[in-house]
């Protein structure tokens, strides 16, 4: 089976989405699940930059290394290159939807809604202290753990053949 290709999107691509990228890669590896993961921002202020030091620190504390990742801006090619495009908050979701070709709209979701059926944002921690990053870390852990379980689900349990009795 081809690995799922997942793109996380936030505003700056230095706090939330790089943390989600590193975390999903880490959790998928532990679960022996083959995925292609990347992240991007809707804004271009941090292109080529390392993730925010506070994101690197909270990830490092939990055994995840973000230092090979660099900021980039979402591009129209991403809608072909990825199967799932998961936005952190409603504003990111609006921006991604506005950029998406109509055919790609079904790939675009709010992360917590897709993973946990919870229509809630992962809040922007940029102007917060370290506790803001801890909150983002714990929300992303919940979201990415559920995402790994969903991606690892055999087709027979995902509903695709539920009508075949
Ligand atoms: P992120 O956080 O969207 O989670 O990466 C932000 C990073 C930078 C800025 C805003 C949010 N900024 O305005 O530069």
Dist CA 77 CA 112 (whole Å): 24
Tell the burial category of 12 from Cβ atoms under 10 Å away from its Cβ (0-12, 13-18, 19+): buried
Minimal-distance CA residue to ligand 1 atom 14: 12
Dist CA 5 CA 82 (whole Å): 5
The CATH number covering residue 75 comes to 3.40.50.2300
Q: Identify the pLDDT of residue 155.
A: 59
3-state secondary structure of 97: helix
Helix, strand, coil abundance in the chain, percent, nearest 5:
45, 15, 40
Total of domains in the chain: 1
Residue ranges around ligand 1 (CB below 6 Å): 10-16, 45, 124, 126
> Residue 161 Cα, ligand 1 centroid: separation in angstroms?
42
> Residue 11 Cα, ligand 1 centroid: separation in angstroms?
5
As beta bridge partners, residue 8 has 39, 86
Q: Identify the pLDDT of residue 153.
A: 86
Name the residues annotated as catalytic. 10, 16, 124
For strands 84-87 and 108-110, give the pairing.
Answer: parallel
> Residue 51 Cα, ligand 1 centroid: separation in angstroms?
10
* Range(s) of the domain holding residue 50: 4-163
Q: What is the mean pLDDT of each run of 10 residues along the chain (165 residues)?
A: 95 98 98 98 98 98 98 98 98 98 98 98 96 97 98 63 33
Of 15, 55, 123, the residue with max ligand 1 atoms within 8 A of its CB, to mutate for a pocket test, comes to: 15
Write the DSSP assignment of 38-75 as a string of letters.
EEEESS-TTTTPPPPHHHHHHHHHTT---TT----B--
Dist CA 87 CA 91 (whole Å): 9
| Alpha-carbon distances of 74 from 12, 43, 91, 109, 144, rounded to whole Å | 10, 8, 14, 15, 20
């Amino acid at each position: 089976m081809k690995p799922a290709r997942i793109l996380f999107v936030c505003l700056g691509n230095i706090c939330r989405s790089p943390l989600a990228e590193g975390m999903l890669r880490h959790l998928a590896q532990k679960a022996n699940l083959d995925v292609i993961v990347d992240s991007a921002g809707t804004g271009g202020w941090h292109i080529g930059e390392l993730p925010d030091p506070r994101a690197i620190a909270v990830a490092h504390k939990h055994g995840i290394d973000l230092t090979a990742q660099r900021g980039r801006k979402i591009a129209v090619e991403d809608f072909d290159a990825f199967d799932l495009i998961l936005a952190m908050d409603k504003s990111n979701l609006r921006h991604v939807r506005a950029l998406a070709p109509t055919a790609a709209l079904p790939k675009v979701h709010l992360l917590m809604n897709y993973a946990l059926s919870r229509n809630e944002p992962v809040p922007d921690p940029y102007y917060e202290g370290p506790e803001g990053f801890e909150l983002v870390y714990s929300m992303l852990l919940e979201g990415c753990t559920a995402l790994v379980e969903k991606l690892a689900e055999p087709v027979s349990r995902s509903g695709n053949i539920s009508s075949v009795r």
